[in-house]
Amino acid sequence: MCGIIGIISNQDTVSRLLSGLKSLEYRGYDSAGIAVINDRHIHLRRTVGKIDALVETVGAHPLSGSIGIGHSRWATHGGSTIQNAHPHITDQVAIVHNGIIENHRNIRLSLEKKGTSFSSETDSEVIVHLVTGYLNQGLDPEQAAFKTFEQLEGAYAVAVIFRDFDDLMICSRKGSPLTLGLGKAEMFIGSDALSLSPFTHDLVYLEEGDIAVLKRDSYKIYDQNKVLVERPVTKSQISGEGVSKGKYPHFMLKEIYEQPDVIRRIIQKYVKGGVPCVGLDIDWAAVDQVTFVACGTSFYAAQIAQNWFEGVAKMSTRVEVASEFRYRQPPLSNRGVTIVISQSGETADTLAALRYAKSEGQTVIALVNVVESTIARESDYVVPISAGPEIGVASTKAFTAQLLILIFICFDILRSKKKDFPDFAHILKALKVLPLAFEKLLLDRKLLQQISQKLAGNKSIIFLGRGAMFGVALEGALKLKELSYLHAEGAPSGELKHGPIALVDEHTPIIYLMPDDVLVEKNKSNLEEVMARKGQVYLIGGASASIYREKVVHFFEMPDLDAFCAPLLYTLPMQLIAYETALIEGSDVDQPRNLAKSVTVE
């Protein structure tokens, strides 16, 4: 989950290394550092905390060099200290690493027996000592790096530079992403296209096991069998505007406000002649089960979609947490389809689950926001969610985009199976007015701020919903806990009497979701149960819920919209409540503690 940047140039690299790290800060902000080579010396600057702290340190203690590497860390082995920050160096070598070296303890013990002294608690430091040891044995840099990579078990993206070679960088990836950027008489590496977008749009995505040997004006790539190979050059479409906050104080707020345009863009892209078409050449009538695999917010998108796939498309569906799925090794039908969902397309657990599904003969569909990602490249079909760059750690517009795409896939199944459903034209009409409904809710933001003011400071908040709204409740609770650090729990309203109701008293805030759908009367009964126990209800619902206006702490009336599309619309208040509560609590909205945007380690 750490971020890596590297540059070989004829010019000084320091300012661009810092700029690249700033673009990567969403991947880790426990500590940061850069190392450059100048006059056959490795110069190192490291700090604890965010990139701004590193910028200040470099300003106070300048350095320069035409080759350098940088790193933003999300701590795994060892706490957030200067000693554990990357790059790690010896007198001859500097390295940066993203991932986890699973056999680092054995390597460390072996090296210590030979007299090697370690200065950090990290798994990564073994890499720099292995390379240095091989150089001391007389191997050249390529040989030393190759021998080192052979010893590493686990997941990694690694970049290595050498004191005595100011025109050489060697990098490799296995399980963690790494991208090459091609410039004019200069080369770049980065953990993703976003970090390289200010420097070049010509990218080469390394594949699993690849090793790249870079010089200023050339590069070679070897595959996992050490065979020289060519990888395609891809043009990146990421613009500077997409990675700027613009007029907004936070990326998250900007991305919340972008959702109406995201919805319009997706409808324009995937609906042709009034019919959704996401480009899947699948005979759905021959498919006996759909398996969703995802993590976090994407998992909740799948939970919501399960209601559509089963209730509308009549497709047997299971929803799996990626980190548990592959270790259970569940049997999968060779007539099944697995849909993996990941904003970044690099989520380590989801990628591993994809590979397991393919080994079981599944057809795999990827829903990703980064079409050049590893998950996209390894899937049979790719459906871009087209949300645009999402920088805020807490997903907002990508979640909405995922739900919209899943609706379209649901109708793709119906069309393929030649099954009727009440008029997609009616649903499409509702989807087309959805952006206007979003915009209306954004105008009512101050009313949602009133809810946040009352939630702030509470020890625990419960989110309740039924049907597809259960998934929205889970997502609302996740957003609140990860941004404000308040405990929040999502539960299905119908399960209240089976446990969660024990938590309800006059001190318990309850966010209750009650759209005008087929479950509204059931929801009313559940709500009465909560109010009978003096729960502090914040009711977010349609017109039929307004009868409780005077009985609850706060009633927020939602725009009238077809119930099928309601999960998308009800997500917006969840996002805004979490955002506003986090501001009141004084949390870092874009970079909440302990979290990173792209989870590339298990």
Active site amino acids: 2, 597
User: Residue with structure tokens 């007299």?
Assistant: 115
First to last CA, the chain: 10
**3-state SS, one letter per residue, for 353-366:** HHHHHHHCCCEEEE
State how far the alpha carbon of 201 is from the alpha carbons of 183, 187, 240, in Å.
9, 12, 11
> What is the rounded CA–CA span in Å between residue 194 and residue 389?
8
Quickly count: other Cβ atoms within 10 Å of residue 541's Cβ.
26
d(CA 167, CA 175): 27
SS3 per-residue string spanning 322-362 = HHHHHHHCCCCCCCEEEEEEECCCCCHHHHHHHHHHHHCCC
Instruction: For residues 32 and 86, give the distance between their C-alpha atoms in angstroms, rounded to a whole number.
Output: 6
Are 370 and 351 in contact by the 8 Å Cβ rule? The answer is: no
Contact 380/364 with Cβ under 8 angstroms?
yes
Confirm if 362 and 338 have CB atoms less than 8 A apart: yes
Measured CA to CA, the distance from residue 454 to residue 550 in angstroms comes to 17
